[in-house]
Structure 1
């Protein structure tokens, strides 16, 4: 069974779209989501500190809809009370998050709906609907506008949305000529809107893997006061899967790798605001690295918000590729403002 699951994940990560729903959602629907608590360390649930992050809680999510899953882009409300996600099958999901104190324990008021094309109808072909990255341009998770990144037919579209609909798009972000070098299945994978500090108003974008000569990974600072290219120093052979803006004007980048000989790996890096300069080669600070000895899957989506207690909370979601051998996980970690305290648990 492990070999079958591993093979299924390998095929999914290399672009096999056969598990996706053949047809898109044709209308908005309400669904019930079952949430099963999971620990990050299966063998030692009392352990809460991982790298520079503190694990708060995790859930394995199930729903009786073939359109639930494949989540590749995520934003969270500044309050931490609701999320908006997009799937690589051209669907959006909005949900309220429920907590027991500071610990995530469920999703409620869950809505799925189709991402609409310019004609006002759901995107149908795989080339059109493979949405991989999401960032807010304005508003919140219930009403506003968003940048939506697609691969296969590479583009960043600007989508107005409400509680009941997502689109049609109202324009597109001009992309630099270097995007023509992107592989069909390694397109725009990470978007983050920087709203504070000297780069306020800048959209940061990265492809999954677009190496320059020497191997550094190319991204872009779009709009804002100082647009231009930016380079990320690769640490190993992980691919970029998402990014999120931090409340202090920096960003976090989520990376992932899968190989038969290595299993699944993930990494979160924090990039300070001072590192984000046009033409800069950035490396950042590793907050967390994990392999499949821990409770991870195909981690593809990341979001961040500041909790009432002052620490930054990072939320991750996995893309199950609509495979029965994979899972839709949602997990939250805290990044304290002060030094991380030693000990197995922080309450």
Structure 2
């Protein structure tokens, strides 16, 4: 979602930093995401920044990101021998293309969600002109998927914020807002040539949806964000069990203090070479001088990691080298 809280973010940095209130992400008994590393990603390339969606390579060594300015980026993630994130290097960047092979423009640029479908293709969701498209490769032309009336009815600047691929390989989309504080978020699922709403996610104010991913434990990880004006952003991650009847659970794995992180919008949950579950998140800097692009990585601790749908099926598709 595009915002312009430049001066507000600057005041928050000075205020919270000066008062020593940044602190660590809130923790609780039981499963929780514990921050391991946070790096600031900078690059002078034209079009860099405003990243909203992220997908990592299978080994956590690289990523694809999309921005709400209508661009894609591919980068290498630099890691210490034990796997800790130490840096990031931009390898390539370019404009997202429409179905004619032309750069998206005007009201069509606001890319938000990103996932690799069970067919290995790249799916991207957009808001403003609410839609989902699919690419054979990230630098190639898009194919526009069907747009039901429910997509057109979504709120401006609060549309299809999150995409994830289910254990059956089908793509799911979640809007940033549900339309009412007590109304659950509808979860749209791509079923062949159309979309259905097989289940919904309970809305828990004041946070709004910014990203989602199916973890290697077969559970759905929902990234949410609240914007508190002068105080900045707070981040929450909830985790749900996927069952034949829909979702259950909704335990909070991360609930950060306001101002602890920048505007985290994209999430990828994966398993590293040591068998640990990691959650990698990226922030949208809104193209603001006073904000930064952060990549923050967390380890899941205090969890028994019970088998889930994905742990008994084929590995999740990941970007191809030419993707």
Deviation at 1:307, TM superposition (A): 0.9
Pair 1:104–1:42, CA change in 2 (3 A): farther
Inter-partner Cα distance in structure 2 for 1:179 and 1:115: 21
Deviation at 1:266, TM superposition (A): 1.1
Aligned partners of 1:74 and 1:86 also within 8 Å: yes
1:220 aligns to 2:188 (yes or no): yes
Q: Specify which of 199, 220, 231 is matched with residue 251 of structure 1.
A: 220
Pair 1:48–1:70, CA change in 2 (3 A): closer
Q: Which residue of 2 aligns with 1:6?
A: 8
Deviation at 1:293, TM superposition (A): 4.6
Residues 172-187 of structure 1 aligned to structure 2 (within 5 Å): 172=145, 174-187=146-159
Q: Specify which of 130, 141, 156 is matched with residue 168 of structure 1.
A: 141
Aligned partners of 2:184 and 2:201 also within 8 Å: yes
1:89 aligns to 2:65 (yes or no): no
Q: Which residue of 2 aligns with 1:116?
A: 97
Deviation at 1:215, TM superposition (A): 2.2
Pair 1:118–1:176, CA change in 2 (3 A): closer
1:132 aligns to 2:112 (yes or no): yes
Residues 21-36 of structure 1 aligned to structure 2 (within 5 Å): none
Pair 1:221–1:9, CA change in 2 (3 A): farther
Q: Which residue of 1 aligns with 2:49?
A: 69
1:232 aligns to 2:212 (yes or no): no
1:211 aligns to 2:179 (yes or no): yes
Q: Which residue of 1 aligns with 2:128?
A: 152
1:62-91 alpha-carbon deviations (Å, 9 max, x no partner): 111341110001111121111100000110
Q: Which residue of 2 aligns with 1:99?
A: 79
TM-score (norm 1): 0.75
1:68-117 alpha-carbon deviations (Å, 9 max, x no partner): 11000111112111110000011001111110122101123521111111
Helix, strand or coil for the counterpart of 1:64? coil
Inter-partner Cα distance in structure 2 for 1:49 and 1:237: 17
1:217-244 alpha-carbon deviations (Å, 9 max, x no partner): 22223338x9534221122221100101
Inter-partner Cα distance in structure 2 for 1:258 and 1:49: 17
Deviation at 1:214, TM superposition (A): 4.0
Inter-partner Cα distance in structure 2 for 1:180 and 1:257: 25
Root mean square deviation of aligned Cα:
2.9
Q: Specify which of 246, 250, 257 is matched with residue 291 of structure 1.
A: 257
Pair 1:213–1:87, CA change in 2 (3 A): closer
Aligned partners of 2:22 and 2:257 also within 8 Å: no
Pair 1:109–1:241, CA change in 2 (3 A): closer
Inter-partner Cα distance in structure 2 for 1:48 and 1:102: 21
1:170-215 alpha-carbon deviations (Å, 9 max, x no partner): 341x344322321121110000012x3xxx1222210010236942
Q: Which residue of 1 aligns with 2:229?
A: 260
Pair 1:298–1:48, CA change in 2 (3 A): closer
Residues 301-312 of structure 1 aligned to structure 2 (within 5 Å): 301-312=266-277
Helix, strand or coil for the counterpart of 2:286? coil
Helix, strand or coil for the counterpart of 2:49? coil
Pair 1:283–1:208, CA change in 2 (3 A): farther
Moved more, 184-193 or 284-293: 284-293
1:135-161 alpha-carbon deviations (Å, 9 max, x no partner): 01257xxxx521110111110011111
Higher RCO structure (Cα 8 Å, ≥6 apart):
2
